Amino acid sequence: MKKMLVSILALVAGVGVGGGAAYGTGRLLAAPMPTVEKLEFVPTGPILAPLVFSDGRLASYVSFEVQLEVPADRRDDIAAKMPVLLNAVNMRTYRTPMASGRDGTIPSLAAFRRVVFDAAQETYGKNVVRRAIVTQAAPI
């Protein structure tokens, strides 16, 4: 009986000392909790873009719907400068070959996403737009 009582006391004391040490170490070395930035998606509206072959010939036109992931506190700034972004996208699309498929009517979504993201970096500055997501593409 005495051995069992000593074993239980050793277990309780060990848990108490270990828990106290963990709590003390956590309080001593605690780093501030990182703040999580709230992000929102801002729609760009329809973007009409030319589909160009790699040799520079015009294949057709396509309408894209895109959403930009931005910090929630910058949403109004992004919306106010949307015409500048659309102009920057337009100035890039005719130089970027995005037509694929035999007749050139299939747009390369990865190429267009890169065009929009690069134009957003130029328009709004680095690290403002987290990503650009193409939500719809329709040939015209």
In CATH terms, the fold of domain 39-139 is: Tetrahydropterin Synthase; Chain A (3.30.479)
Q: Identify the pLDDT of residue 128.
A: 93
User: Are 104 and 55 within 8 A, CB to CB?
Assistant: no
What pLDDT tens digit does each residue of the chain (140 aa) get? 788 888 888 888 888 888 888 888 888 887 677 778 899 999 999 999 988 888 888 888 999 999 999 999 999 999 999 999 999 998 998 888 888 877 777 888 899 999 999 999 999 999 899 999 999 988 88
Domain boundaries, the chain: 1-31, 39-139
Give buried/exposed letters for 20-47 (b at 16+ CB in 10 A, else e).
Answer: eeeeeeeeeeeeeeeeeeeeeebebeeb
Q: Identify the pLDDT of residue 82.
A: 94
49 phi and psi angles, rounded to 5 deg: -135, 145
> Please, what sign has the CA dihedral across residues 90, 91, 92, 95?
positive
